[in-house]
Amino acid sequence: MGPYLLGLRLSGRRVLVVGGGRVAQRRVPALLEAGAEVTVVSPGVTPALDDLIAAGRVTWHARPYEVGDCDGAWLVQACTDDRAVNTAVAAEAEAKRVWCVRADDKDASAAWTPATGRVDEISVAVTAGGDPRRAAGMRDAVVGALRDGTVDARRNRTKPVGVALVGGGPGDPGLITVRGRQLLAQADVVVADRLAPRALLDELAPDVELVDAAKVPYGRALSQETISELLVDRARQGKFVVRLKGGDPFVFGRGGEEMIACAHAGIPVLVVPGITSAVAVPAAAGVPVTHRGVSQEFHVISVHVAPDDPKSTVDWPAMARSQGTLVLMMAVERLAKVADALVRDGRAPETPVMVVQDGTLPTQRAVTASLSTVADRVSAAGIRPPAIVVVGDVVRVGQEVEMVRAERLP
């Protein structure tokens, strides 16, 4: 017969754990989290358990099990690697009508410890006929679905209110944060950027209002003022609004402007940071933006206007003198002027450059060149936005990694 599942409220109740090895190490923290008063009986314990004992969170009797140890316990865990000891512990517990879990024999165990997980106020416990690995796999699937909102999060009575500015990450839908995905599943309205992970939008419920706030370069665009008005209007209607952006809302994402607009309207705003493409895209191409002995700093620069444009606020001579990595965003169509400015102000013409298009997506491709040749190479390769430009010696680190990998191939 299957077990009768029950949630034990162990706060202030004594739980006996016999054994101080790896099984006990896994189970004791969960018992403590439930508020149990844990006593461990074992000649020795693992370092992790020793830390809990030293902190006064666990009572330890440094000796073998003795008859009578089960007295006063509400639950017993027999976790030794000695079958005879576990049998004796279980027998005493049975005689005293105390539930006992045997780690070594599921069939002889009066109770099973489920694989558990918690998401907000929801606790998940799974048993799988005493098979802990299968139970853990099922637990992970359910907890994951709760965290990312695929288990009908919109029925939650405590759904957020106002506006959430959510960073969707660099493009791959798997790189949005757990919190971001959870809020997206709870949204009544989603206002999405062109660079937001579009695959996630297919998962929205049919009744979710989707507003395309794409800003296509040199094409149609929804003005920032209109976007801010949309956020405020829908939130005032009592709807929960998610503003889904590519990368991070506050890294050239104009999230600050939207937050200010909502603040003026008295709309609560929740900010969920995202993985910025300035770091993630170089990483996806195998290039670290910092590397010991190569670059101790990196600069993230928006090149929506060229270096010689009066609207530019970038100190390009300082960037040329810097020995750090330069990560250029929105730079592809002004790359020739950027390269000329950097070389003119002191960067070596042979400085390596990598340009990565569609970073983290299946269509990702990269071109490597030098400052003196990068504009022509990018043009010849047909590289188009969205793309990230990395300038600096860290590009050689990525090339070195590729060379090592190639040498190890059979």
CB 389 within 8 A of CB 332: yes
Residues, the chain: 410
The SS3 assignment for 232 reads helix
DSSP state of 69: T
CB 175 within 8 A of CB 195: no
User: Which residue, among 64, 67, 99, has the nearest Cα to 82 in the 3D structure?
Assistant: 64
CB 15 within 8 A of CB 39: yes
CA angle 237, 198, 186 (to 5 degrees): 35
Instruction: Give one DSSP letter per residue of 3-38, joined into a string.
Output: --------TT-EEEEE--SHHHHHHHHHHHHTT-EE
Residue 173: count other Cβ atoms within 10 Å of its Cβ: 18
CB 364 within 8 A of CB 358: yes
What angle do the packed helices 22-33 and 47-54 form, to 10 degrees?
40
List, in order, residues 6 or more apart from 382 with CB less than 8 Å away.
none
CB 276 within 8 A of CB 168: no
Residue 57: count other Cβ atoms within 10 Å of its Cβ: 14
Distance CA 376, CA 369 (A): 9
Tokens found for residue 180:
């971001």
Distance CA 17, CA 11 (A): 16
Residues annotated catalytic, as ranges: 193, 215
CB 289 within 8 A of CB 299: no
Distance CA 20, CA 43 (A): 8
The SS3 assignment for 104 reads coil
Distance CA 7, CA 2 (A): 16
Which residue in this structure is represented by tokens 């579009």? 198
List, in order, residues 6 or more apart from 4 with CB less than 8 Å away.
none
